[in-house]
Amino acid sequence: MLTERMERLIREMPKGENHIHIEGSIPTRTALRLAKRNKIVLPFDTETGMLDYIHTHCGNLDMFMVCDRLINSVCLHEEDYYDVVYDLGEDAKRQNIIYQELHLDYPLNEERGIPMDVVMRGYEAGRKAVLKDFGVELVFIAGIDRSQPPEKCTAFVKNLEPYLDMVDGIGMDCEEISYPCILHKEAYEIAGKMGLFKTAHAGEEGDCRNIWDALNVLGCQRIDHGVRAIDDPALVRELADRKILLAMCTRSNRRLFPTPADHAIKPLMAQGVICSVSSDDPPYVGDLLWEYQGLVEDLGFDEDTLITLARNSLEYSIKGQHHLPAFDEWVRNWKSQSTD
Ligand code: ADE
Ligand code: ZN
């Protein structure tokens, strides 16, 4: 049950977030402001109108990708990309997110002819301002659009070379069915040589074969979603033994896929798989506080499990481990307060 204490824990606990896409997370207020500034006509002109539109038009991953591209079309100039990251930082601060790994899905911008440098300069300036103004540490994961031809994805990775001081990881997202991750083996080999941390969306829409391949062919150190791992006991053992983080998003899964009432996160954690939770794309599925609340209300998670998830989001992050001492101190303090 979501008691007042649980709600306070979710709100006040310092949290990391390992899986959120900048382009899919443009806040409603920001999308409308940028649309006006850039004279982009959207099929809505209020914040509730945008949310209503999303709710009626995004029932599965393919529909989501259409919506994602539509709303992202409000970004044209460097200052637009800056504003999006800055406003996301403000939202992170409100939720006591201290460390956030953001997928930057540049290919969604490239397909509209926006030069890479425009996007990257805006994002990087936003990241610096977020640290200065809100004290939130942002880390970027560059996302391959796996529905694009492999040569294009390989070129994208090579083009990250001048941005290695701002990008720490490589990821892969967009539609999963028909685009198995092995298509992009070469892109991941190059990313590995460039020193990038490797993760990939797998087992969200596709099956556990795609998770095996992400681990063993691409050499991923993390899996985004990974829900379908639950179908293969050997894979569950492998993930647990190798301490591979599943960066899960239960609210997102429920919105985009017919998910059983009991989400796989519960049995996966019970079998020793390390998980964290994230929002994925907040305007579509709700923010990180909402994600944690769902774990309590829908899956009956207790206080200690929520604390474990938040700790995992830092311990198994790309570079947020330095936040652990302060996190542990916060938890000691919290536990010393009387329970109600
Ligand atoms: N891009 C943004 N959100 C995504 C998701 N849930 N699955 C695949 N690609 C995405
Ligand atoms: Zn995602």
Q: What is the DSSP string of 79-127?
A: HHHHHHHHHHHHHHHHTTEEEEEEEE-THHHHTTT--HHHHHHHHHHHH
- Cα of 49 vs centre of ligand 2, distance in Å, is 24
pLDDT by residue (tens digit) across 243-270? 999 999 999 999 998 777 789 999 999 9
Which is the closest atom of ligand 1 to the Cα of 252? 6
Find all residues with CB under 8 Å of 50, minimum gap 6, and list them. Answer: 28, 31, 32, 42, 44, 71, 283
The full DSSP string for 163-214 is GTTTEEEEEEES--TT--GGGGHHHHHHHHHTT-EEEEEESSSS-HHHHHHH
Q: Is the predicted pLDDT of residue 45 greater than 90, yes or no?
A: yes
* Alpha-carbon gap, residue 291 to 253, rounded angstroms: 11
Q: Is the predicted pLDDT of residue 11 greater than 70, yes or no?
A: yes
Q: Give the SS3 label for residue 261.
A: coil
pLDDT by residue (tens digit) across 202-211? 999 999 999 9
Q: Is the predicted pLDDT of residue 340 greater than 70, yes or no?
A: no
The whole-number pLDDT of residue 258 equals 75
Q: By alpha-carbon position, which residue is closest to atom 7 of ligand 1?
A: 174
| Percent of the chain scoring above 90 in pLDDT | 96
pLDDT by residue (tens digit) across 59-87? 899 999 999 999 999 999 999 999 999 99
From 104, 181, 205, 281, give the residue whose CB has the most ligand 1 atoms within 8 Å, as the site to mutate: 281
User: What are the catalytic residues?
Assistant: 204
Residue with tokens 């481990």: 321
From 148, 173, 181, 227, give the residue whose CB has the most ligand 1 atoms within 8 Å, as the site to mutate: 173
The whole-number pLDDT of residue 262 equals 83
The whole-number pLDDT of residue 261 equals 73
Average pLDDT over residues 105-128: 97
Q: By alpha-carbon position, which residue is closest to atom 4 of ligand 1?
A: 174
CB 283 within 8 A of CB 25: yes
Residue with tokens 């529909």: 63
Q: Give the SS3 label for residue 20.
A: strand
The whole-number pLDDT of residue 1 equals 86
* Alpha-carbon gap, residue 191 to 317, rounded angstroms: 18
Q: Mind listing the domains of the chain with CATH numbers?
A: 4-318 (3.20.20.140)
pLDDT by residue (tens digit) across 209-250? 999 999 999 999 999 999 999 999 999 999 999 999 999 999
Cβ of 281 below 6 Å from ligand 1: yes
| Percent of the chain scoring above 70 in pLDDT | 99
Ligand closest to Cα of 204 equals 1
CB 140 within 8 A of CB 100: no
The whole-number pLDDT of residue 207 equals 94
To the nearest whole number, what is the mean pLDDT of the chain? 97
pLDDT by residue (tens digit) across 318-337? 999 999 999 999 999 999 98
Cβ of 253 below 6 Å from ligand 1: no
Average pLDDT over residues 174-178: 93
Cβ of 24 below 6 Å from ligand 1: yes
Q: Is the predicted pLDDT of residue 108 greater than 60, yes or no?
A: yes
Q: Is the predicted pLDDT of residue 338 greater than 80, yes or no?
A: no
- Cα of 252 vs centre of ligand 2, distance in Å, is 8
- Cα of 94 vs centre of ligand 1, distance in Å, is 24
- Cα of 337 vs centre of ligand 2, distance in Å, is 36
Break the chain down into helix, strand, coil percent, rounded to 5: 55, 15, 30
Which is the closest atom of ligand 1 to the Cα of 249? 6
| pLDDT confidence band for 339 (50 / 70 / 90) | low
How many other β-carbons are positioned within 10 Å of the β-carbon of residue 282? 26
From 22, 201, 224, 256, give the residue whose CB has the most ligand 1 atoms within 8 Å, as the site to mutate: 201
Q: By alpha-carbon position, which residue is closest to atom 8 of ligand 1?
A: 174
Cβ of 137 below 6 Å from ligand 1: no
Q: Is the predicted pLDDT of residue 138 greater than 90, yes or no?
A: yes
Cβ of 204 below 6 Å from ligand 1: yes
